[in-house]
Amino acid sequence: SQQGEEDPQALSIQEGENATMNCSYKTSINNLQWYRQNSGRGLVHLILIRSNEREKHSGRLRVTLDTSKKSSSLLITASRAADTASYFCATDGRDDKIIFGKGTRLHILP
Amino acid sequence: SQTIHQWPATLVQPVGSPLSLECTVEGTSNPNLYWYRQAAGRGLQLLFYSVGIGQISSEVPQNLSASRPQDRQFILSSKKLLLSDSGFYLCAWSVLSGYNSPLHFGNGTRLTVT
């Protein structure tokens, strides 16, 4: 089934640095979404980028989408301790379903 | 504003016992409703999907079932739990055109089958 795969699986960076996570998918999509999950909690929607968009910003978040390479990236600038979480990309599958990747675990070091 | 409630937060059940997890949404009508399961350190596996009362799509063959007795109520059940049913269960909703709108998640139920 169509699914996004995040890379890397885990990432540790110093507070204040930028964090970049990547997502690749297999088949054509209508849009791609990024979510954050704090430990033991539900997922929180961060940003949705449509297939005809190349870049989107929301606060310290920047998402890019390259449909020719079937890939997306999530950039978090000036990272903070509160950004420590798992980040998932999600793509639309058949019949309105949304399919998630396995996520990137981001750890911001003080 | 819309809210989603999911309970219980944690549950420990013996193998072979029944299961009932409930999810309710407030502040919206005719939402798409979803049940996902997340194994430790893994992504989310879509279990069930509903576009309306009594309309359930099952994604994975298993001993779990889902029901939607009311517009904003989604229930996940099992008659006899297996060890492999342990995991983190998440309920979510979206507006009707699901793939064009974000999913809104509950805080999940941590199920441990012993």
- The string of pLDDT tens digits covering residues B8-55 is 999 999 999 999 999 999 999 899 999 999 987 778 898 998 989 999
Name the residue facing B46 among A45, A99, A102 (closest C-beta): A99
Report the length, in residues, of chain B. 114
Q: What's the pLDDT band for A28 if we cut at 50, 70, 90?
A: confident
Q: Which residues of B touch A31 (CB under 8 A)?
A: 99-100
Q: What's the rounded Cα separation, in Å, for the pair A50 and A31?
A: 4
**A53-87 pLDDT per residue, tens:** 999 999 999 999 999 999 999 999 999 999 999 99
List the structure tokens of A78: 């000036």
Mean pLDDT (chain A, rounded):
92
Torsion of the alpha carbons at B44, A102, A4 and A16, rounded to the nearest 10: 120
Phi, psi (deg, nearest 5) at residue B3: -135, 155
- Assess contact for A103 and A39: CB atoms under 8 A: no
Instruction: Determine whether the interchain pair A100/B90 forms a contact, defined as Cβ–Cβ distance below 8 Å.
Output: no
| A1 pLDDT above the threshold of 50 | no
**A37-58 pLDDT per residue, tens:** 999 899 999 999 999 999 999 9
Interface test with A, best of B23, B42, B44, B51 (most A CBs within 10 A): B44
Model pLDDT, residue B26: 94
Pairing between β-strand A10-14 and β-strand A104-109 as defined by DSSP bridges: parallel
Mean pLDDT (chain B, rounded):
91
- Assess contact for B92 and B49: CB atoms under 8 A: no
Contacts of A6 (CB under 8 A, 6+ apart): A21, A22, A23, A87, A88, A89, A101, A102, A103, A104
The residue to which tokens 């699914």 are assigned: A3
- Assess contact for B93 and B32: CB atoms under 8 A: yes
- Assess contact for B23 and B91: CB atoms under 8 A: yes
- % of residues, chain A, pLDDT over 90: 75
